[in-house]
């Protein structure tokens, strides 16, 4: 059995670990509120934009002159998976789940005979994907230099993706990111990013907007709108990952704090028993010595 001193040391070390996990949990809870507010604030823009996209795409989408970002390159041989991960750990299985979803998608595409490459956002996805698909990683985007990845980063990512698309490096891009459901559940989602999936226009809205005047014409507007739409999608993914990270982190740290508490209790009981046993032994020794006199 471990000596009293060793036990005491272990209890202290678990106690300080618990302090850290507890602090991290509180920080995550506070940050989660902020991240959720940010996600909430971004919603009006995304909604308006997709409504406008829907009505425009319905008008222009059918024609041959539709922009390439909407119509696609005509083939779907080369796929790009844009995997969004966090930069920091301590958030439970979040990154593992995202990577798993990305790998499932990659395997399915490879099985169909398609060519798959990766574009990784965030630090934590690099190592696990590199393990399986080291030669397929096209590029990394580093978000660790800024505290809260915002629209500027989304813009940079989207611009780079669109440039790669224009250069003919891939035909189809999918975005893999976790959707924040609650602090307990974040669902990894795979969503097509490029070519932009034509949003479904509601019948009534397209009828109501039939008389809308456009300046310049519809196609020119759509041309300008599509990159913005891609940016908004990427921005949405960044917001989701931020909220998911804090949510997952909060849950994971809550568990860790509770586990540490249990461990402390167990160790304390063990410590008290050993102390009691030591006292008893000492007493027996003293009594035995007294009796011998």
Partner 1 sequence: MALHFELVTPAKLVRSEDVHMVVVPGAEGEFGVLEGHAPFMSTIRDGAVQVYKTEGAAPEEIQVRGGFAEVGENGLTVLAEHVEG
- 64 near partner 1, judged by CB under 8 A: no
Binding-site member from 11, 27, 49, 156 for partner 1 (CB under 8 A): 49
Q: How far apart are CA 160 and CA 130, in angstroms?
A: 21
Question: Which residue, 73, 269, 82, is CA-closest to 192?
Answer: 82
Which position among 64, 135, 213, 291 is part of the footprint of partner 1 (CB under 8 A)? 213
Shortest spacing between CB 220 and partner 1, in angstroms: 7
Shortest distance, CB of residue 38 to partner 1, whole angstroms? 7
Beta bridge partners of 79: 116, 172
**Residue (of 179, 183, 148) closest to 253 by Cα position:** 183
Q: Is 232 in the site for partner 1 (CB under 8 A)?
A: yes
Among residues 275, 282, 277, the alpha carbon closest in space to that of 4 is found at 275
Q: What is the DSSP letter of 87?
A: S
Task: Identify the CA nearest to 187 among candidates 288, 101, 284, 246.
Answer: 101
Question: Closest distance between partner 1 and the C-beta of residue 206, in Å?
Answer: 12
203 binding partner 1? (CB under 8 A): no
Among 235, 246, 249, 252, binds partner 1 (CB under 8 A): 235
- Residue 151 binds partner 1, judged by CB under 8 A: yes
Q: In the chain, what is the greatest distance between 2 CA atoms, to the nearest angstrom?
A: 115
How is 122-134 classified by DSSP, letter by letter? SSTTHHHHHHHHG
The answer to the question of residue 209 lying near partner 1 (CB under 8 A) is yes
Q: Which is nearer to partner 1, 116 or 193 (CB)?
A: 193
228 binds partner 1 (CB under 8 A): yes
Burial (Cβ within 10 Å: 0-12, 13-18, ≥19) of residue 43: exposed
Q: How far is the CB of 212 from partner 1 (least distance, A)?
A: 4
3-class SS of residue 10: helix
**42 or 98: whose CB is closer to partner 1?**
42
Residue 118: phi, psi to the nearest 5?
-115, 145
Residue 262 annotated among the catalytic residues of the structure = no
Q: What's the CA gap between 293 and 289, in Å, rounded?
A: 7
Q: Which is nearer to partner 1, 68 or 228 (CB)?
A: 228
Which two structure tokens, joined as six digits, stand for 223?
Answer: 């041309």
141 binds partner 1 (CB under 8 A): no
Contact stretch for partner 1 (CB under 8 A) within 19-27, 105-113, 206-214, 272-280: 206-214
Nearest-approach distance from CB 247 to partner 1, in angstroms: 20
Q: Is 81 helix (H, G, I), strand (E, B) or coil?
A: strand
Residue 212 in contact with partner 1, rule: CB under 8 A: yes
Of the candidate residues 4, 20, 29, 38, the single one contacting partner 1 (CB under 8 A): 38
Catalytic residues: 91
Query: Residue numbers of the site for partner 1 (CB under 8 A)?
Result: 38, 41-42, 44-46, 48-49, 52, 150-151, 154-155, 208-209, 211-216, 220-221, 224-225, 228, 231-232, 235
């Amino acid at each position: 059995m471990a000596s009293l001193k060793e036990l005491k040391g272990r209890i202290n070390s678990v106690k300080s670990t618990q302090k850290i996990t507890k602090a991290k949990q509180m920080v995550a809870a506070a940050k989660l509120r902020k991240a959720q507010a940010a996600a909430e604030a971004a919603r009006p823009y995304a909604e308006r934009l997709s409504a406008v996209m829907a009505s425009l795409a319905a008008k222009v989408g059918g024609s041959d002159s539709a922009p390439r970002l909407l119509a696609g390159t005509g083939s779907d041989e080369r796929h790009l998976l844009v995997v969004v991960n966090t930069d920091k750990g301590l958030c439970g299985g979040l990154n593992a789940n995202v990577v798993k979803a990305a790998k499932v998608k990659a395997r399915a595409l490879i099985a169909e005979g398609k060519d798959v490459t990766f574009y990784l956002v965030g630090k934590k996805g690099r190592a696990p994907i590199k393990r399986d698909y080291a030669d397929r990683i096209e590029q990394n985007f580093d978000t660790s230099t800024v505290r809260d990845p915002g629209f500027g980063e989304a813009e940079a990512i989207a611009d780079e993706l669109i440039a790669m698309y224009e250069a003919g490096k891939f035909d189809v891009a999918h975005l893999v990111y976790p959707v924040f459901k609650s602090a307990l559940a974040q669902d990894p989602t795979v969503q097509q990013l490029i070519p932009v999936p034509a949003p479904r226009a509601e019948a009534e809205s397209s009828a109501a907007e039939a008389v809308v005047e456009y300046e310049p014409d519809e196609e020119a507007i759509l041309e300008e709108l599509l990159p913005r739409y891609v940016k908004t999608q990427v921005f949405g993914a960044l917001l989701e990952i931020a909220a998911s990270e804090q949510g997952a982190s909060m849950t994971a740290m809550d568990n860790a704090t509770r586990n540490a508490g249990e461990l402390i209790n167990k160790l304390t009981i063990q410590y008290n028993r050993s102390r009691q046993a030591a006292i008893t032994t000492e007493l027996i020794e003293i009594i035995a010595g007294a009796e011998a006199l």
